[in-house]
Amino acid sequence: MTKLTLAELIKEKLGIADLPAEDQEHILSRVEEQILRRATLDILEALPTDERVELEALISGSNDETIIRFLREKLNLSLEEKVEQATREYLDDLIG
């Protein structure tokens, strides 16, 4: 699912499609921040302690591609899937 598709899903679920574009962008920005925070926490919780240490070392000295490759290998799913899952869970928690 692309970022645009996720944005549309969020707009639909929150019922904000009729708001002015500036208000939509503000709400989307806040929701996306919460979703990324949730996805990050989920990822960290899914990693064993030794792999968290390895990830911290990668974050300190590697490029994004190396970090993404490490997470894909360790989590057996794409980051896009993790973000999509976090989005759906966040929206379900938010609106029930």
Note the pTM of the prediction, 2 decimals: 0.73
- Can you spell out the DSSP letters for 11-64? HHHHT-TTS-HHHHHHHHHHHHHHHHHHHHHHHHHHS-HHHHHHHHHHHHH--H
Q: What is the pLDDT of residues 19-59, one digit of tens each?
A: 999 999 999 999 989 998 998 888 889 899 999 999 989 98
- Annotated domain spans of the chain: 3-95
- pLDDT tens, residue by residue, 70-96: 988 888 877 788 888 888 899 888 887
